[in-house]
Amino acid sequence: MIKQAVNLYQYLLPLLIGATAFFLIAGPHFLNPLNIAWLTGGDSLQHYLGWAFFRNSPWDWPLGLNPKYGMEFSNSIVFTDSIPLLAIPFKAISYLLSKPFQYFGLWVLGCFVLQAWFAYKLIGLVSASALVRALGTFFFVFSPPLIFRMGLHESLMGQFLILAGLYLNLRSQDTKQAIWWILLLSTSALTHFYFFVMLIALWVADLLNRVLVKKTATPKFIFIEIGITIPILILILWQAGFFAVSGASGATRGFGDFRTNLLALFNSRGWSYWLKPINLRDSVEAATGEGFQYLGAGNLFLLLCAVPILIKRKLTLQVVWQRYLFLLIALVVMALISFSNHIGVGSWNFRLDLPPAALGVLSFVRSSARLFWPFYYASIFLILYCIIKGYSKKTTYLILVIGALFQIIDTSAGWRPMRKIMNVPISSEFKSPLKNPFWKAAGLHYQNVVMDERPIFWETFGLYAAQYGLSTNMVYLARLDDGKANKAIEKLGKEVNQGPLNANSLYIFRDWKDSPRQVRFDPKVDLLARIDGFNVLATGWKVCANCPPLESGTALAEASELNQLAPEILLGEKIIFSSQARGRDDFMIDGWGYGEEWGTWAVAPQAKLIFNFPTSKPKKMVINAKAFLAPKHLQQEIEVWGNGSLLGKVTLKKFDGNQIELTLPDQVMANPILNLEFRSINAVSPKDMGLSTDERLLGIGLQSIQFTR
């Protein structure tokens, strides 16, 4: 009876540590399946949207395909990082689940608990003391690289898989070793691609160690294990949807950007009250957390305590080298890949040139910093090994207690702000800029909401499409089949520019000057409008019996109907560029300053505008402008370019009252869109002229443009 109670205690202790850490760090709100308030955008919203579309789609084959989220882009639940391990079974019981339903809080709780469980098992390989194992568990559970992923990339919190892989390598093996590896590899494949890569490396290390070093398995048995495992893994990868994206598309650029700095273990990056962060000069490294590998003050304290043991008692890597040669090789190789060819040592960086073929292969793990995690956790285990084996029990207890307190308190500098984000007031609704009643009517009428270019509104319209069960190509994916995506966008471009439009699709467009194009539609049948700041083409809206019109006094009155995406210009109309006029917002692109009562200064050597020509073809363009002049700067030389052709070169000698008349040649008029550019050849700043502290290079001051015959 006593023995059973002790065994139960041994099982419950790590579970209690993991659950306590979850509620301390994440808080209870995160766990509520109805609570989606913390899914504010970015990766977390991507993960949720992948699941939301997946649960509302009919079953496909392979099971993980998610065609409504991406449409022709060959998407699957894998490439939204929505954790197929949970998404597929939850879809099977979706009819029992609430709407909305998010399982990411449950997953994070499971990650904390399993992180504690496998840490407890690992430490049990070197100590039978429940207290030592429990104290050692804190150093794995309060791991900054683990906690950092909470609310950012929850699938990557499955770092317990790495601990499990290390445990299988280090434990006394039995006849079930192959079964455990099949289960672990399958779980990693259904969690995240990077874990699968890491676990494959650890599995291969274990295979080689078993047959060549420990000699606990024969080559024949190893080949049988491989022959059984590989087909099972291929089947699981196929059913999860990994092969929905071609191999070439799976490799993306970025290897060398998201890498581990050689000083990453000691760089707190704001996750410490005591250790100042190391400044990083590389902009990508400084802006992202991919290379965040801080050990924490507790682990650093243990490291200091372990150094004398390593020196005095010679507990070197010799044991590891002799017993776990291939594990050590796997850990070192993955760590080296994580450093990439872009080597960073603190703020100092240099790049090693690699053959294009090698970069092509390595680009499959562009976020190579993640491959450092097995080395990271193996290092913590080795440090604990030195402490446990090198000191007396009482001293070990004292060191571990102090270190655990240091680790929890120190890392709270990073996780306490995260807890506040995770525990915003509970809500089962997302905030949306789509307020007009049009969107509800459209959501009930159409089957698709699409853009004819790579989408930039995926958050807004992904949520909108999920709410009404629409399909959409406005998606954010970890990997994209570029070939299929380009063909799909080209097809949509033809629909918009040449017709016919898809009667089941609602088209969304960027502002015209950001993405110039002509839209072919029937204004008697289709509605082109600007609604809640978005340009929308609703096919067949005007002849739809259940579609409310955009008329004064109706619910849709705030929407404004458009004749074309491009703002309409009338022949002879004077387009004003003052702060109060429409010219700035409608036509100015780059190189212009702020609007003033009279107009706008060009503040760059090239200042650009874009126009849609009036329907009645103009022959000339009349420009009214100022020129920045000074006693030491008596004239301003200006070149005017249109669609790549020089329209004219003028010298302005008056501050105000300059009028420039230019002829529009046939080659410029052949394009319905005019890209206009003013080049201020000898622009100077008021500061250079001793007039003020204004450092802007002022050239032409544009007041108005008029297209005439």
What pLDDT score was predicted for residue 2?
54
Average pLDDT estimate for 144-160: 93
Please name the helix (run of DSSP H) or strand (run of DSSP E) that holds residue 350, with its range, or none: strand 348-351
CA distance 337 to 341: 8
Could you tell me the two tokens for 324?
A: 């776990």
Taking residues 155-184, report their average pLDDT.
Answer: 93
**Contact, 346 vs 279, CB < 8 A?**
yes
Q: Say if residue 705 is exposed, middle or buried (CB neighbours under 10 Å; 0-12, 13-18, 19+).
A: buried
Q: How far apart are CA 240 and CA 76, in angstroms?
A: 8
Please give the pLDDT value at position 248.
46
DSSP of 270-331: T--SSSPPPP---HHHHH--TT-----HHHHHHHHHHHHHHHHS---THHHHHH-HHHHHHH
Q: Which of 349, 372, 462, 402 is nearest to 75 (CA)?
A: 462
Distance CA 465, CA 49 (A): 10
Distances (CA, A) of 145 to 156, 268, 277, 318: 9, 11, 15, 28
Long-range contacts of 481-489 (CB under 8 A, 24+ apart): 481/73, 481/74, 481/244, 481/245, 481/246, 481/249, 482/248, 482/249, 483/246, 483/248, 483/249, 484/72, 484/73, 484/74, 485/72, 485/73, 485/454, 487/72, 488/71, 488/72, 488/73, 489/452, 489/453, 489/454
Which pairs with CB-CB distance under 8 Å and at least 24 residues apart come from 589-592?
A: 589/513, 591/678, 592/702
Separation between Cα atoms, residue 619 and residue 340, nearest integer Å:
58
Q: Which of 207-221, 292-306, 473-487 has the highest mean pLDDT?
A: 292-306
Distance, C-alpha 311 to centroid of its chain: 44
Residue that is written with structure tokens 């800029």 in the block: 433
Mean pLDDT of 575-602: 92
From residue 73, give the alpha-carbon distance in Å to each of 222, 275, 312, 488, 491: 39, 46, 60, 7, 12
Is pLDDT of 194 > 90?
yes
DSSP reduced 3-state for 416: helix
Mean pLDDT of 83-87: 96
Q: What CATH number does domain 574-708 carry, 3.40.50.300, 2.30.42.10, 2.60.120.260, 1.10.1040.10?
A: 2.60.120.260
Residue positions counted in the chain: 709
Q: Rounded to whole angstroms, how far apart are CA atoms 297 and 310?
A: 20
Which pLDDT belongs to residue 249? 47
Helix, strand, coil percentages in the chain from 3-state DSSP, rounded to 5: 45, 15, 40
| CB 160 within 8 Å of CB 109 | no
pLDDT (tens digit, 9 = 90+) per residue, 654-699? 999 999 999 999 888 888 889 999 999 999 999 999 899 999 999 9
Which of the residue ranges 203-207, 269-273, 517-521, 600-604 would you say has the lowest mean pLDDT? 517-521
CA gap 12, 98 in Å, rounded: 31
Q: Which of 213, 202, 424 is nearest to 322 (CA)?
A: 213
Q: What is the pTM of this model?
A: 0.87
List, in sequence order, every beta strand (DSSP E) within 155-303. none
DSSP state at residue 681? T
Question: What average pLDDT does the segment 73-81 reach?
Answer: 86
pLDDT in tens, 117-138: 999 999 999 999 999 999 999 9
- What is the C-alpha to C-alpha distance for residues 112 and 373, in angstroms, rounded to an integer? 16
**Distance from C-alpha of 291 to C-alpha of 279, rounded to nearest angstrom:** 13
Please answer whether residues 335 and 420 qualify as being in contact, where contact means their C-beta atoms are separated by less than 8 angstroms: no
Tokens of 121: 């098992």
Work out the pLDDT band at 461, boundaries 50, 70, 90.
very high
Q: What integer is the mean pLDDT of 302-328?
A: 80
pLDDT given for residue 203 in this prediction: 97
CB 441 within 8 A of CB 305: no
Query: Alpha-carbon distance 51 to 369, whole Å?
Result: 27
**Angle, alpha carbons 171-177-178 (nearest 5°):** 150
Is the pLDDT at 1 greater than 70? The verdict is no
The mean pLDDT value of the chain amounts to: 90
Cα–Cα dist 614/572, whole Å: 9
The band of 7, judged by pLDDT with boundaries at 50, 70 and 90, is low
- pLDDT tens-digit profile of 253-300? 668 888 999 999 999 999 999 999 998 888 777 778 889 999 999 999
Please state whether beta strands 505-509 and 448-450 pair in parallel, antiparallel, or not at all (unpaired). Answer: parallel
Q: Which helix (H) or strand (E) holds 343?
A: strand 342-345
Parallel, antiparallel, or unpaired for β 448-450 and 471-472? parallel
Position 361 pLDDT exceeds 50: yes
- Per-residue pLDDT, 8: 66
Which pair of tokens denotes residue 469? 């069960």
Q: What is the pLDDT of residue 676?
A: 94
553: pLDDT confidence band, cut at 50, 70 and 90? low
Please give the Cα distance from 386 to 388 (Å, whole number). 6
CA angle 88, 89, 95 (to 5 degrees): 100
- Report domain extents, the chain: 2-39+102-247+263-422, 438-561, 574-708
Minimal CA–CA distance to 33: which of 11, 18, 55?
A: 55
Q: What's the distance, Cα to Cα, between the start and end of the chain in Å?
A: 102
**Percent of the chain whose predicted confidence (pLDDT) is above 70:** 95
Quote the tokens at residue 223.
Answer: 């080949």
213-262 per-position pLDDT tens digit: 888 888 999 999 999 999 999 999 999 999 987 654 445 566 888 899 99
pLDDT above 50 for 492: yes
Q: What is the pLDDT of residues 406-439, one digit of tens each?
A: 999 999 999 999 888 888 888 888 888 999 999 9
Please answer whether residues 240 and 64 qualify as being in contact, where contact means their C-beta atoms are separated by less than 8 angstroms. Answer: yes
- Cα separation, 475 vs 454, in Å, equals 9
Higher pLDDT, 653 or 284: 653
User: Where does 606-699 show beta strands of DSSP type E?
Assistant: 606-612, 620-627, 636-642, 645-652, 658-663, 673-680
**Can you give the pLDDT at residue 636?**
92
